[in-house]
Amino acid sequence: MDFDLLVHAAWPAYEQRTHDGWVLRHAGGVTKRANSVLPLGSPADLAGAIAAAETFYAERGLPCVFSVGPRATPGLDGELAARGYQVVDPTVIMAGPVAREPVVHETRVEERPWQGWLETWWAVDGRYGTGLAEAERICTGVSAWYAAVEEDGVPVAVGRGVPQGGTLGVYCMATLPRARRRGLARSVLRALVRQCGGTSAYLVVTARNQGARALYGSEGLAEKGEYHYRMR
């Protein structure tokens, strides 16, 4: 699977500009994934392409960030390091076959994120101040399903599933601290698999999140690659 393109399609920046094979992505500064360069191919002028990217983000008041994944331009990572760009958020790609396993907890699944779903996800992963509206715009930029285990009408564990051909992209997995270690994330994941179908799934998780990596591994997903960001 071409994970660079799968992730790009499942988490779409609403402003995109191409430059010599690279995709410059902007979405109001919310998440590095949607506000970074996807550097595919080999530009004829590497230094010129980097300069174009830096100008693009400077014009929008954002730092220039590169997503360096399996298909990144050869030699780019070293060039960025030499220019003072630091590695940020090393991330593991996990994927594998999935089966329709029992969903232990009652799980609500909808075609669009509702307010409670958004608030729970943002409470866990909202590192970008007042960017919830921008985050919702990113999420709904492509067809997806939204799942949640609720308690007293309040989502306490959530996730987002994006059907992509025969595979499922899993995003926005988040559980409130008070509801952790109860298997709720497992139910959310399984509910998305049941809803979306397909024979395989993939997701990305920060390398430091050992608990999540163990959970996904127990559900049949194995580490298939990695990527990181370079930010100056």
DSSP 8-state class, residue 179: G
pLDDT(128) > 90: no
**What's the pLDDT at 130?**
62
pLDDT(127) > 90: no
Beta-carbon contacts of residue 181 (< 8 Å; ≥ 6 apart) = none
**How is the chain split into domains, by residue range?**
3-92, 99-198
Selected residue with higher pLDDT from 92 and 198:
92
The average pLDDT across 187-214 equals: 94
Whether the CB-CB separation of 179 and 157 falls below 8 Å is answered with yes
**What's the pLDDT at 134?**
85
The average pLDDT across 20-32 equals: 92
Among 197, 216, 196, 198, which Cα is nearest to 206's?
Answer: 216
- Rounded CA separation 34/208 (Å): 21
Neighbour count for residue 62 (Cβ, 10 Å): 15
**What's the pLDDT at 75?**
96
CATH code for the structural domain at 99-198: 3.40.630.30
Q: What is the pLDDT of residues 165-178, one digit of tens each?
A: 989 999 999 999 99
Among 145, 152, 218, which Cα is nearest to 188's?
Answer: 145
Selected residue with higher pLDDT from 225 and 30:
225
Report the length, in residues, of the chain. 232
Beta-carbon contacts of residue 122 (< 8 Å; ≥ 6 apart) = 132, 135
Q: What is the mean pLDDT of the chain?
A: 94
Calculate ∠ Cα 148-199-10, nearest 5°: 55
State the pTM of this model.
0.93
pLDDT(219) > 80: yes
Residue 191 burial (10 A CB sphere; 0-12, 13-18, 19+)? buried
**Centroid of chain to Cα 231:** 17
pLDDT(210) > 70: yes
Q: What is the pLDDT of residues 42-63, one digit of tens each?
A: 999 999 999 999 999 999 999 9
**What's the pLDDT at 171?**
97
